[in-house]
Structure 1
């Protein structure tokens, strides 16, 4: 999507603002590179990325659209234009509009990326959890002690297996509450990115907002020139324009007012989801569809850490008339079957569980803070919305 948005935005300059198309390539690439780095967790902000883009864009707009007679622009003068961009606000409301448009979905993408990396860490940690000596003894007793009596085909009793596995995985089961909330958080972030805030549309609209910003600067060209002259002085000017230059500039100015409508129409025809890369025999799939598939897949793992002991004991033959209870072959397991989690293991008749696993506690702490961060973000957004509505009501009054 980033690659598509880069090409889509560069096309604006190639088709509409050809005089600055070549020099606009780097600012456009830098903008989307900064957004990519932000999504991947870099210590930057969407506002900084957009500010850097408009800082680079202003000298181009000033010399190619507002004052096309400028022959040469020194590095000092270019830097002055960059520095004054923030103070004189040549692009009007469109600077903040781009930040607002991108921040909603890009933040969700950043958090989702962070969340997926955390999920990998949780899975890797639980996959390589250390087996205690008590667990090892209980597993050997359950799996191999019947063999000493020649009972190679007998299966363990279901209750017996559950007690052993719940004892061995007591620390892992403590992840259950936090993992369920984590899955809910991933679902929320995915919906924010691909649903209500539509990352695809936000990236697509960069071109539209950039065009509106350039048009705004052109319409306010005389005032901007007067302000820039006071701050930065006057750059070198052409002595006279050729008739061809004058004619081309007149045509550009005439077309400026029709560009707004044409680009708005173009945007409306492309508001549907951007097609992601697909093979020749496949139909393009939107981010929304892929995200929905992802969420549905992840939902199936919501109870994974609560049901892992049951899954591992699923191979036990439940309809058998006899089973191994750890001591002998019996018709049924009569000892108490404990629940999941560390507290329940106090009453486990098959093994002793001494305490929590430090590595599991570490990832639990990480999951907790990740879920809390998302909760606080949702709260702050709700509070900000409430304040904005109060402000609207006050203005009406």
Structure 2
């Protein structure tokens, strides 16, 4: 299995080809090569031994204890090395996907910035923080923050409406209180048509699946790393010592354990880990399914690249329907007051700018020159190889020639007592089959506490992956296939056969909010509530403007009072 077995290999080579010895010279040479002292110069009476056979050994009780500790160290290293392929592969793929999604968002943000600067000029630069905040939230979500992308996108459209309405109606005043009223009307107004709903579906599905996938890889990595380091039981350690180092105490350091003997020892020692088998394979299946979604209907590259395009489509829709939208706003929040003549700027050249699509050579490139298809193909191949790992681990370890004898040497191996064939049957795979393990006593009634914790981790990750696969956010219990986005209406339902349309938002770890973003509105009424509809009429408008004027006078009144 590699360098961790160097010491054992030295012990085995020291007496290569030898049968049971009458003296301890080979044992002394093997111990000296290992730096463990020389041991007794001759055979001893073996009543003092607690693990190895007691008939004329070459080990003192102190040496047996020392070899027992070394056996535990070797066993732990052997199991960790056997699991190293899984842990290193999952860790490296986690880093690759995490970096890919992070750079994908950076590329998408740069593309939006370049397109909006060319298309909207100064209007974009004046409101750039709005879009910086959006991408900051997307980055937080991909890093594990527990937030709802649906709410983030809803807030974006509301704030965009608050920015655009004054630009389309420069002849009116729009104080903050009025814009708050406008924000509460956004869902009923549908100022951006059906674009918000489509973007919401695409982004929440795609980035929800991406986040669940990356977190799933991290969960798999952690479970493998910790399961491979589970402390072996005392029964296991005795069996491992009997298998690995008792031949040395018998004067035959080159004698390898029989393959069947090794299998029974390893199956008993790793019984708790094999209890992960079923949940592990379910978890891998869910990872593979979500990976396929990332390059299929929940294509995260297309979702990232479409953010700027969809926002521009929404802006264009509102520009083309500005008169109707403004009329609905004035009906719900009353007609605003005319702006002073000097403040009516000629904003037509800016507000009349229209969305334009990219020429082919200007379309955003993928993140860091990587290709999501290649990443997914690679990770699917690796995940397939990990199926059945926990049941197969004892076989993998015992198939190494440094650990056990070949099956062709059944009559020339260490059977736990002497050189000869190992007679007991090999137990079946899995925890339940270890009830009659002849080498290691195993409690099959329930897995140990650490194994139960790993099972819960795998089940939770599998559940989130299955939710992401169907476009659901299990953290927020949302299903976006039937919901309408802010500023959109009912109607079109998601079709997996159509263009990629995003993933359910999901997250687990709370992170700090960046300075350029703002928390979703908490005071916005629920869709269809009466608070969404403000009465119109001269009396209501007069009351509204009186309230606004009073708010404007409050700072002056405060100054007067403090001045006195």
Q: Give, in whole Å, the separation in 2 of the partners of 1:367 and 1:46.
A: 25
Kindly provide the CA deviation profile for residues 168-209 of structure 1, in whole angstroms up to 9, marking residues without a partner as x: 000101111211121111111111123332101111111111
The more displaced of 166-175 and 307-316 is 307-316
What is the 5 A alignment of 1:18-167? 18-64=121-167, 66-69=168-171, 73-167=174-268
SS in 1 for 2:455: helix
Pairing 1:215–2:285 present: no
Pairing 1:293–2:378 present: yes
Distance 1:50 1:380, change over 3 A: closer
Matching residue of 2:390: 305
Distance 1:151 1:349, change over 3 A: same
Kindly provide the CA deviation profile for residues 287-318 of structure 1, in whole angstroms up to 9, marking residues without a partner as x: 22112212212222222212111122123231
Larger radius of gyration: 2
Q: Is the 8 A contact 1:77 1:235 kept in 2?
A: no
What is the 5 A alignment of 1:1-397? 1-64=104-167, 66-69=168-171, 73-230=174-331, 231=333, 233-234=335-336, 237=339, 239=341, 246=346, 249=348, 253=352, 256=354, 259=355, 262-263=356-357, 266=359, 270=363, 274-277=365-368, 284-313=369-398, 314-315=400-401, 316-318=404-406, 319-320=408-409, 322-330=412-420, 332-355=421-444, 356-375=447-466
Q: Is the 8 A contact 1:135 1:168 kept in 2?
A: yes
**Unpaired runs of at least 5, structure 2:** 1-103, 473-478, 483-490, 496-564
**Unpaired runs of at least 5, structure 1:** 278-283, 393-397
SS in 2 for 1:195: coil
Structure with the higher helix share, 1 or 2: 1
Distance 1:391 1:209, change over 3 A: closer
Q: Give, in whole Å, the separation in 2 of the partners of 1:311 and 1:179.
A: 17
CA RMSD of aligned residues (A): 3.0
Report the CA distance between 1:390 and its aligned residue. 11
Number of equivalent positions: 369
Calculate the TM-score normalised by the size of structure 2: 0.60
Q: Is the 8 A contact 1:59 1:81 kept in 2?
A: yes
Q: Is the 8 A contact 2:108 2:304 kept in 1?
A: yes
Q: Is the 8 A contact 2:206 2:298 kept in 1?
A: yes
SS in 1 for 2:296: helix
The more displaced of 55-64 and 169-178 is 55-64
Kindly provide the CA deviation profile for residues 261-306 of structure 1, in whole angstroms up to 9, marking residues without a partner as x: x41x5489748xx4222xxxxxx22122112212212222222212
Q: Is the 8 A contact 2:142 2:207 kept in 1?
A: yes
Q: Give, in whole Å, the separation in 2 of the partners of 1:125 and 1:95.
A: 44
Calculate the TM-score normalised by the size of structure 1: 0.83
